[in-house]
Structure 1
C-alpha cells in the first residue's frame, strides 16, 4: 500500500475514534446521565483524558494524516507530499502522547474505581482504591457505593471503552509515525491523478 493511501486510511480511522473518546468522556461527567453528582466526580474523570488525550490530541493527527494522503495547501508533486508527510509525523507523535495519556488515566480509573457515597461511613470516598482492581471481577462488592446509583458499572464500562479505543489510537499513531517517515524519505508511490 502506498504511504499516501495508508495515511488516509489511518486518518479516517483516527477521527471517529477521537470523537468516541470525547463522547465517552462527556458521559463520564454525568453518572447515569444525571448532573446532580458532578461535584463528587473522581480525579480520573476530572482529568478529562478522553476529551484531551484520546480526543483533541488524536483528532489533529487524524486530520493531518488525511491531508498527508491527498492534495493539500503545500502543493502537488514530490515536495508537497513530503511536506504533508513530515507534518503528519509530528502530529502522530502528539497523538501517540495523547493516546498514552488517555490509556494511563483510564487504566488508573479502572484500577482505583469510582468516587462514591459509601455505605460504611456515609462519606464520599474511593472504596476500591486499595483493591488492585479486584472489584472488577466481583460485582457483589459494587453495592458498597450508594450514590450515584450504578456508578461502578457506569465507570467500568466507560473507562474500559476509553482504554480500548486509546490503545487502538496508540497503535494507529505509531503506524502513521513509521508510514510518515517512509513518506518523507521515499515519497508517495501513487500517480498524481490518483491523489
Structure 2
C-alpha cells in the first residue's frame, strides 16, 4: 500500500504539471508568425506570441483574431486551442482519478492495520 500511495503522489504531480502547463499555454496563445508595424510604415513579420500581451482581451473568445493574426503556420490558433484544451481536460480527469486512488491507498494503508486477520 505504501508503494501505491507513493505512485499515486507521483501521478498526481504529473497530472498537476500537465494542468498548469496547458493552462499557461492556453493563456499565452500559440507561437506563430504575425505582422508587426514598423517605424517606416511597412509591415514586418516575426515569430512570437502575438496574443500574450493583449490588454483586457482574451483571444479564446474572439474567433476573428484566430484567422487574422497568425500568418504562418496556417490554422495555428485552432490547432493550439484544441490540443491544449484536450490536454487540460485529460489532466483534470487524471487528477480526479488519482485523488480517488490516493484516498483508497490512504484508507488501505492506515485502516488496514486495524483489520483482524484470521490465520
Partner of 1:149: 74
Q: Residues 155-194 of structure 1 correspond to what in structure 2 (within 5 A)? A: 155-187=80-112
RMSD: 1.7
Runs of 4+ in 1 over 6 A off after TM superposition: none
Structure with greater proportional helix content: 1
* Superposition deviation, residue 185 in structure 1: 2.8
Give unmatched runs, 5+ long, in structure 1.
1-84, 190-195
Equivalents in 2 of 1:130, 1:180: separation in Å? 44
Partner of 1:140: 64
User: Does structure 2 conserve the Cα–Cα contact (< 8 Å) formed by 1:89 and 1:181?
Assistant: yes
Greater length-normalized contact order (CA 8 Å, ≥ 6 residues apart): 2
SS in structure 2 at match of 1:106: helix
Counterpart check, 1:129 vs 2:52: yes
SS in structure 2 at match of 1:114: coil
| TM-score between both structures, scaled by the size of structure 1 | 0.50
Change in 2 beyond 3 A, CA 1:165/1:126: same
Partner of 1:62: none
* Superposition deviation, residue 117 in structure 1: 0.4
Deviations 1:93-127 (A, max 9, x none): 01111111000010000000001000233000100
| TM-score between both structures, scaled by the size of structure 2 | 0.81
Greater Cα radius of gyration, structure 1 or 2? 2
Structure with greater proportional strand content: 2
Partner of 2:5: 89
SS in structure 2 at match of 1:119: strand
Give unmatched runs, 5+ long, in structure 2.
37-43
